[in-house]
Amino acid sequence: MAKITNPGTTADVARSPPVHHLELSVEDDKSLPQPPPVPSKKTFYDKTKKIKFSSPAFLERFMARHPSVSEHRRCFVALLCSIIVAFVVCIVVFSVLIARRNDFPDHIGGGSGGSIPVDPQIEMDLRKHNQGVTKPPINRSDAPGWTRQGKGDGTFYNPSERNAVGGFQQGACEFEYINSVFDYIAALNKPDFGSYRRLSRSPACGQCLQVTGPNGTVQVQVVDMCPGCKSGSVDLSPSAFSKIADLDKGRVPISWERCP
């Protein structure tokens, strides 16, 4: 209690003990079960080039199991995985292109020697392959979509060349009958052949062309398309080419039109 000695003057007050302010701190009780941390997709940066890499799911699992791996090493692993995936994709695409390329005969646009190249084994295999198969008839349709006359270079190719697996190759017109070097057939250049998603739909397939060269004229049937030939050019079988020029010429100027 307070004791007053003289009202209005200095008072002696017996003060109560000071109040101590207590600060309570609550610490996490680590003995209690804690919720698992939410995994977040990490992003790595190449400090030299400032290129951003996002780690895939399998790399996230790898990093979770190996927390001691440095950021640079993780970035290297992510980049290495991307290179491997890109390499595999390139291999697959290249294989598809090679397989597609082998669907058609090679149009070399030239010749070798002055005689018709004949392989007795191929001719024998051709007869077996074409047994029961008839040659395609001449297409006399007047449907538009291809060029009916032109001027360019005349070359020759081997229509019975084998593909990578040893089989015979159909031309762009997809005729079942496989021609030999003795058949009078031709491959028309791509611009005059026409652009079609499926090349066999071109009205040029099966058409008869009358080709004139330095030594004469020959009639041939269009069975293929020559992708490397320029506009106006025609790639012939060796026998057909020999009717308009010497085989050792390889390439000669020609003119052609649809057969009358």
Query: At 162, phi and psi to the nearest 5?
Result: -85, 155
Q: Residue 234: left (phi > 0), alpha (psi -120 to 50), or beta?
A: beta
Domains recognised in the chain with CATH numbers:
43-100 (no CATH), 120-258 (2.40.40.10)
- What pLDDT does residue 79 have? 79
- What pLDDT does residue 23 have? 54
The separation between the first and the last C-alpha atoms of the chain, rounded to the nearest angstrom, is 138
Name the pTM for this structure: 0.58
Tally the C-alpha atoms within 13 A of residue 35's C-alpha that lie toward its C-beta: 3
Angle between helix axes 57-65 and 71-101 (nearest 10 degrees) is 150
Distance between CA atoms of residues 237 and 244, nearest Å: 11
- What pLDDT does residue 99 have? 44
- What pLDDT does residue 42 have? 52
> Which residue ranges of the chain lie beneath pLDDT 50?
3-4, 10-11, 13, 26, 44-46, 51, 53, 98-104, 108-113
Q: Are the C-beta atoms of residues 240 and 187 closer than 8 Å to each other?
A: no
